[in-house]
Structure 1
Amino acid sequence: MAREASCSCGDLRVTCQGEPELVSLCHCIECQKRTGSPFGIASFYPRQNIKVVGRYSSFARSSDQGFATTFHFCGNCGSTVFWEPSRKPHMIAVGVGSFGDPEFPGPTQEVHTDCRHGWVKPL
Protein backbone atom coordinates (compact mmCIF):
# COMPACT_ATOMS: atom_id res chain seq x y z
CA MET A 1 0.00 0.00 0.00
CA ALA A 2 1.23 3.49 -0.82
CA ARG A 3 -0.07 6.87 0.30
CA GLU A 4 0.85 10.25 -1.15
CA ALA A 5 1.19 13.43 0.87
CA SER A 6 1.53 16.81 -0.79
CA CYS A 7 1.73 20.52 -0.15
CA SER A 8 -1.17 22.88 -0.87
CA CYS A 9 -0.08 23.64 -4.45
CA GLY A 10 1.05 20.08 -5.29
CA ASP A 11 4.66 20.98 -6.17
CA LEU A 12 6.06 18.85 -3.30
CA ARG A 13 4.90 15.24 -2.97
CA VAL A 14 5.94 12.45 -0.64
CA THR A 15 5.00 8.84 -1.35
CA CYS A 16 4.97 6.57 1.71
CA GLN A 17 5.01 2.79 1.37
CA GLY A 18 3.14 0.72 3.96
CA GLU A 19 1.45 1.80 7.14
CA PRO A 20 3.04 4.37 9.45
CA GLU A 21 4.99 2.87 12.34
CA LEU A 22 3.73 5.60 14.64
CA VAL A 23 1.20 8.43 14.52
CA SER A 24 1.89 11.04 17.18
CA LEU A 25 -0.15 14.02 18.35
CA CYS A 26 2.13 16.79 19.64
CA HIS A 27 0.91 19.72 21.74
CA CYS A 28 4.28 21.52 22.07
CA ILE A 29 4.34 25.27 21.51
CA GLU A 30 6.70 24.88 18.53
CA CYS A 31 4.25 22.55 16.73
CA GLN A 32 1.48 25.01 17.50
CA LYS A 33 3.51 27.78 15.89
CA ARG A 34 4.51 25.60 12.93
CA THR A 35 0.97 24.48 12.11
CA GLY A 36 -1.05 27.48 13.24
CA SER A 37 -3.28 25.05 15.15
CA PRO A 38 -3.28 23.83 18.77
CA PHE A 39 -1.25 20.70 17.85
CA GLY A 40 0.66 18.90 15.14
CA ILE A 41 0.15 15.31 14.04
CA ALA A 42 3.02 13.35 12.54
CA SER A 43 3.08 9.94 10.89
CA PHE A 44 6.47 8.22 11.09
CA TYR A 45 7.76 5.96 8.31
CA PRO A 46 11.08 4.16 7.90
CA ARG A 47 13.36 6.34 5.79
CA GLN A 48 13.63 3.67 3.07
CA ASN A 49 9.81 3.71 2.61
CA ILE A 50 9.73 7.38 1.58
CA LYS A 51 10.10 8.94 -1.87
CA VAL A 52 10.18 12.74 -2.20
CA VAL A 53 9.40 14.46 -5.50
CA GLY A 54 9.71 18.21 -5.94
CA ARG A 55 11.77 21.07 -4.62
CA TYR A 56 11.64 22.16 -1.02
CA SER A 57 13.26 24.51 1.44
CA SER A 58 14.36 23.48 4.91
CA PHE A 59 14.39 24.90 8.42
CA ALA A 60 16.14 23.27 11.39
CA ARG A 61 15.37 23.89 15.04
CA SER A 62 16.10 22.23 18.35
CA SER A 63 13.36 20.39 20.23
CA ASP A 64 12.54 20.87 23.91
CA GLN A 65 14.86 17.95 24.67
CA GLY A 66 17.69 19.42 22.59
CA PHE A 67 17.37 17.18 19.53
CA ALA A 68 17.44 18.92 16.14
CA THR A 69 14.55 18.52 13.71
CA THR A 70 14.79 19.61 10.08
CA PHE A 71 11.46 20.63 8.54
CA HIS A 72 10.97 20.57 4.76
CA PHE A 73 8.38 22.79 3.14
CA CYS A 74 7.31 23.80 -0.34
CA GLY A 75 9.15 26.89 -1.55
CA ASN A 76 6.08 27.92 -3.54
CA CYS A 77 3.14 27.62 -1.10
CA GLY A 78 5.04 27.23 2.20
CA SER A 79 3.29 24.03 3.37
CA THR A 80 5.42 21.89 5.69
CA VAL A 81 5.06 18.34 4.37
CA PHE A 82 7.79 16.25 6.03
CA TRP A 83 10.59 16.49 8.55
CA GLU A 84 13.61 14.62 9.83
CA PRO A 85 13.91 14.20 13.59
CA SER A 86 17.56 13.65 14.58
CA ARG A 87 16.29 11.68 17.58
CA LYS A 88 14.93 9.08 15.12
CA PRO A 89 17.45 9.16 12.24
CA HIS A 90 15.98 6.02 10.63
CA MET A 91 12.53 7.66 10.36
CA ILE A 92 10.89 10.43 8.34
CA ALA A 93 7.86 12.22 9.75
CA VAL A 94 5.06 13.28 7.40
CA GLY A 95 2.28 15.63 8.44
CA VAL A 96 -0.97 13.65 8.63
CA GLY A 97 -2.94 16.57 7.16
CA SER A 98 -0.69 16.51 4.08
CA PHE A 99 -2.30 13.23 3.03
CA GLY A 100 -5.73 14.85 2.77
CA ASP A 101 -7.26 11.53 3.82
CA PRO A 102 -9.97 11.50 6.52
CA GLU A 103 -9.49 7.70 6.77
CA PHE A 104 -5.80 8.02 7.73
CA PRO A 105 -5.00 6.14 10.96
CA GLY A 106 -5.40 8.27 14.08
CA PRO A 107 -2.73 9.07 16.65
CA THR A 108 -1.54 6.30 18.94
CA GLN A 109 0.35 8.58 21.29
CA GLU A 110 0.10 12.13 22.60
CA VAL A 111 3.12 14.18 23.72
CA HIS A 112 3.72 17.53 25.44
CA THR A 113 0.31 17.36 27.09
CA ASP A 114 1.38 20.12 29.49
CA CYS A 115 0.86 22.52 26.55
CA ARG A 116 -2.52 21.05 25.50
CA HIS A 117 -5.25 23.67 25.07
CA GLY A 118 -7.95 23.25 27.70
CA TRP A 119 -10.70 22.59 25.15
CA VAL A 120 -8.75 19.80 23.40
CA LYS A 121 -9.78 16.41 24.77
CA PRO A 122 -7.04 13.89 25.65
CA LEU A 123 -6.68 10.76 23.51
Structure 2
Amino acid sequence: MIDARCSCGAVSLSLPGPTNRVAACHCIECQRRSGAPFGVGAFYPADTVTIFGTTKEYVRPAESGGTVRSYFCPDCGSTVYWKADNLPAMIGVALGAIADPNFPAPIKSVFERSKHVWVEITGADVEHLPHCSIRKTSS
Protein backbone atom coordinates (compact mmCIF):
# COMPACT_ATOMS: atom_id res chain seq x y z
CA MET A 1 0.00 0.00 0.00
CA ILE A 2 1.10 3.56 -0.68
CA ASP A 3 -0.32 6.87 0.47
CA ALA A 4 -1.25 10.08 -1.29
CA ARG A 5 -2.03 13.22 0.64
CA CYS A 6 -2.61 16.94 0.46
CA SER A 7 0.02 19.47 1.58
CA CYS A 8 -1.23 19.69 5.18
CA GLY A 9 -2.09 15.98 5.57
CA ALA A 10 -5.79 16.50 6.40
CA VAL A 11 -6.84 14.51 3.30
CA SER A 12 -5.15 11.26 2.39
CA LEU A 13 -5.72 8.21 0.24
CA SER A 14 -4.54 4.66 0.71
CA LEU A 15 -3.66 3.14 -2.67
CA PRO A 16 -3.00 -0.53 -3.48
CA GLY A 17 0.46 0.26 -4.91
CA PRO A 18 1.94 1.77 -8.05
CA THR A 19 -0.15 1.63 -11.22
CA ASN A 20 0.92 1.79 -14.84
CA ARG A 21 -2.26 3.75 -15.67
CA VAL A 22 -0.58 7.16 -15.55
CA ALA A 23 -1.55 9.99 -17.90
CA ALA A 24 -0.35 13.54 -18.48
CA CYS A 25 -3.17 15.90 -19.47
CA HIS A 26 -2.43 19.21 -21.19
CA CYS A 27 -6.03 20.51 -21.34
CA ILE A 28 -6.51 24.08 -20.19
CA GLU A 29 -8.59 23.01 -17.18
CA CYS A 30 -5.88 20.61 -15.91
CA GLN A 31 -3.34 23.40 -16.33
CA ARG A 32 -5.53 25.65 -14.19
CA ARG A 33 -6.32 22.89 -11.67
CA SER A 34 -2.69 21.99 -11.15
CA GLY A 35 -1.14 25.45 -11.50
CA ALA A 36 1.37 23.82 -13.87
CA PRO A 37 1.64 23.40 -17.66
CA PHE A 38 -0.05 19.98 -17.38
CA GLY A 39 -1.59 17.67 -14.81
CA VAL A 40 -0.50 14.09 -14.21
CA GLY A 41 -2.81 11.48 -12.75
CA ALA A 42 -2.41 7.90 -11.63
CA PHE A 43 -5.66 6.02 -12.21
CA TYR A 44 -7.02 3.33 -9.89
CA PRO A 45 -10.21 1.30 -9.69
CA ALA A 46 -12.35 3.30 -7.22
CA ASP A 47 -13.07 0.24 -5.09
CA THR A 48 -9.34 -0.20 -4.34
CA VAL A 49 -8.85 3.31 -2.89
CA THR A 50 -9.62 4.32 0.70
CA ILE A 51 -10.15 8.04 1.32
CA PHE A 52 -9.53 9.70 4.69
CA GLY A 53 -10.51 13.23 5.68
CA THR A 54 -13.08 15.71 4.48
CA THR A 55 -12.78 17.15 0.99
CA LYS A 56 -14.44 19.93 -0.92
CA GLU A 57 -15.73 19.15 -4.41
CA TYR A 58 -15.42 21.28 -7.54
CA VAL A 59 -17.52 20.17 -10.54
CA ARG A 60 -16.77 21.25 -14.11
CA PRO A 61 -17.60 20.17 -17.65
CA ALA A 62 -14.87 18.10 -19.32
CA GLU A 63 -13.48 18.81 -22.79
CA SER A 64 -13.93 15.10 -23.54
CA GLY A 65 -17.64 15.24 -22.61
CA GLY A 66 -19.32 14.55 -19.29
CA THR A 67 -18.29 16.06 -16.00
CA VAL A 68 -15.13 16.01 -13.87
CA ARG A 69 -15.36 16.24 -10.08
CA SER A 70 -12.15 17.40 -8.40
CA TYR A 71 -11.69 16.84 -4.68
CA PHE A 72 -9.41 19.10 -2.72
CA CYS A 73 -8.48 19.83 0.87
CA PRO A 74 -10.58 22.68 2.31
CA ASP A 75 -7.64 23.67 4.55
CA CYS A 76 -4.61 23.81 2.22
CA GLY A 77 -6.36 23.75 -1.18
CA SER A 78 -4.39 20.82 -2.66
CA THR A 79 -6.28 18.82 -5.27
CA VAL A 80 -5.76 15.19 -4.27
CA TYR A 81 -8.03 13.23 -6.61
CA TRP A 82 -10.82 13.46 -9.18
CA LYS A 83 -13.55 11.40 -10.77
CA ALA A 84 -14.81 11.68 -14.35
CA ASP A 85 -18.33 10.71 -15.36
CA ASN A 86 -16.79 9.04 -18.43
CA LEU A 87 -14.80 6.68 -16.16
CA PRO A 88 -17.19 5.99 -13.27
CA ALA A 89 -15.23 3.02 -11.90
CA MET A 90 -11.91 4.91 -11.72
CA ILE A 91 -10.29 7.57 -9.53
CA GLY A 92 -7.52 9.81 -10.83
CA VAL A 93 -4.96 10.63 -8.13
CA ALA A 94 -2.71 13.67 -8.52
CA LEU A 95 0.80 12.32 -8.97
CA GLY A 96 2.16 15.16 -6.83
CA ALA A 97 -0.01 13.94 -3.94
CA ILE A 98 1.77 10.58 -4.13
CA ALA A 99 5.15 12.38 -4.03
CA ASP A 100 7.26 9.40 -5.10
CA PRO A 101 10.04 10.25 -7.59
CA ASN A 102 10.22 6.57 -8.57
CA PHE A 103 6.52 6.31 -9.48
CA PRO A 104 5.87 5.02 -13.03
CA ALA A 105 5.97 7.62 -15.82
CA PRO A 106 2.96 8.50 -17.98
CA ILE A 107 1.98 6.02 -20.67
CA LYS A 108 -0.41 8.52 -22.28
CA SER A 109 -0.17 12.25 -23.03
CA VAL A 110 -3.57 13.74 -23.89
CA PHE A 111 -4.88 17.10 -25.12
CA GLU A 112 -1.51 17.83 -26.69
CA ARG A 113 -3.21 20.43 -28.88
CA SER A 114 -2.93 22.77 -25.85
CA LYS A 115 0.49 21.50 -24.70
CA HIS A 116 3.12 24.14 -23.98
CA VAL A 117 5.66 24.06 -26.82
CA TRP A 118 8.60 23.49 -24.45
CA VAL A 119 7.02 20.44 -22.72
CA GLU A 120 8.08 17.02 -23.94
CA ILE A 121 6.68 13.75 -22.55
CA THR A 122 9.12 11.08 -23.67
CA GLY A 123 9.26 7.31 -23.69
CA ALA A 124 9.07 4.66 -26.39
CA ASP A 125 5.63 3.47 -25.28
CA VAL A 126 3.94 6.84 -24.61
CA GLU A 127 0.75 7.38 -26.60
CA HIS A 128 0.41 11.01 -27.78
CA LEU A 129 -3.09 12.34 -28.50
CA PRO A 130 -4.29 15.82 -29.55
CA HIS A 131 -7.48 15.20 -27.54
CA CYS A 132 -8.74 12.62 -25.04
CA SER A 133 -9.57 9.19 -26.45
CA ILE A 134 -12.19 8.49 -23.79
CA ARG A 135 -15.61 9.90 -24.52
CA LYS A 136 -18.93 9.37 -22.78
CA THR A 137 -21.00 6.82 -24.60
CA SER A 138 -24.75 7.24 -24.90
CA SER A 139 -26.82 5.00 -22.71
**C-alpha contact 1:47 1:91 (8 A) present in aligned 2:** yes
* CA shift for structure 1 position 3: 1.1
Uncovered stretches (5+) of structure 1, i.e. residues with no partner: none
Q: For 1:23 and 1:101, locate their aligned partners in 2 and report how far apart those are by CA, in whole Å.
A: 13
Q: For 2:34 and 2:92, locate their aligned partners in 1 and report how far apart those are by CA, in whole Å.
A: 14
Larger relative strand fraction: 1
Uncovered stretches (5+) of structure 2, i.e. residues with no partner: 123-139
* CA shift for structure 1 position 54: 0.4
Q: For 1:99 and 1:29, locate their aligned partners in 2 and report how far apart those are by CA, in whole Å.
A: 23
1:39-78 equivalent positions in 2, closer than 5 A: 39-78=38-77
Q: CA RMSD in A?
A: 1.0
Report the 3-state secondary structure (helix = DSSP H, G, I; strand = E; otherwise coil) of the residue aligned with 2:29. Answer: helix
> What TM-score does the superposition give when structure 2 sets the normalisation length?
0.85
**C-alpha contact 1:18 1:49 (8 A) present in aligned 2:** no
Identity %: 39
> What TM-score does the superposition give when structure 1 sets the normalisation length?
0.95
User: Which residue identity lines up with residue 19 of structure 1 in the other structure?
Assistant: P
Q: For 1:104 and 1:111, locate their aligned partners in 2 and report how far apart those are by CA, in whole Å.
A: 19
Q: How many residue pairs get matched?
A: 122
Please tell me whether Structure 1 or Structure 2 has the larger radius of gyration of its CA atoms. 2
